[in-house]
């Protein structure tokens, strides 16, 4: 199928409201996330968030979560932006946002990820609708793990 701009369009990918993704630059591979089209921005649990300068540019250092036996690790990324984001309680927060590749169902593209404390949440990452926009992806609200294997969630 070709779209109006003459580019070949990928077939529609239907995913569940829970899937496994990878964030390879953070060392987080094939882990369970909650897909939430009600959330604009993707949010990742991060501890010890610290801004610093490198060669005059803003960078962030943080501890990425330990997932399914993978040890927590310190990551450093350039700050993509800071964004006002409404948290799950409805309160606005000014969050640091990084841009990093994501892999879902064999497809890879860069997404914006806000860093926040999700320690009390079941899933360390919530995948928001901006990450799925213009990717020809639909979310089935009644199904989980349509494009990935269901992980052993013990210890999450």
* CATH numbers and ranges of domains, the chain: 17-131 (2.40.70.10)
Tens of pLDDT, residue by residue over 107-120, are: 999 999 999 999 88
Residue 42: which of 138, 115, 102, 113 has the closest Cα? 113
* Res 21 pLDDT > 50: yes
Q: What is the 3-state secondary structure (H, E, C) of 48-94?
A: EEEEEEECCEEEEEEEECCECCECCEEEEEECCEEEEEECCCCCEEE
Mean of the per-residue pLDDT values for the chain?
Answer: 91
**Residue 129: φ, ψ to 5°:** -70, -30
How many Cβ atoms sit within 10 Å of the Cβ of residue 41? Answer: 20
Cα first-last separation, the chain: 40
Tally: H helices and E strands in the chain: 1, 12
- Structure pTM? 0.88
The structure tokens 């109006």 sit at 4
Residue 10 — very low, low, confident or very high, per pLDDT cuts 50/70/90?
confident
> What 3-state DSSP class applies to 153?
coil
């Amino acid at each position: 199928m070709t779209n109006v701009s003459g580019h070949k369009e990928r077939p529609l990918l239907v995913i569940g409201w829970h899937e496994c993704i990878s964030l390879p630059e953070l060392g987080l591979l094939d882990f369970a996330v909650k897909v939430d089209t009600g959330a604009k921005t993707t949010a990742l649990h991060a501890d010890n968030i610290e801004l610093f300068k490198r060669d005059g540019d803003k960078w962030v250092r943080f501890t990425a979560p330990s997932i399914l036996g993978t040890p927590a690790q310190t990551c450093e990324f350039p700050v993509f932006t800071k964004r006002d984001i409404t948290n799950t309680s409805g309160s606005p927060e000014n969050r640091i946002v990084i841009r990093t590749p994501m892999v879902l169902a064999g497809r890879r593209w860069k997404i914006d990820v806000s860093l926040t404390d999700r320690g009390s949440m079941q899933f360390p990452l919530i995948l928001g609708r901006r990450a799925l926009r213009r990717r020809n992806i639909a979310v089935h609200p009644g199904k989980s793990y349509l494009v990935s294997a269901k992980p052993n969630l013990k210890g999450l």
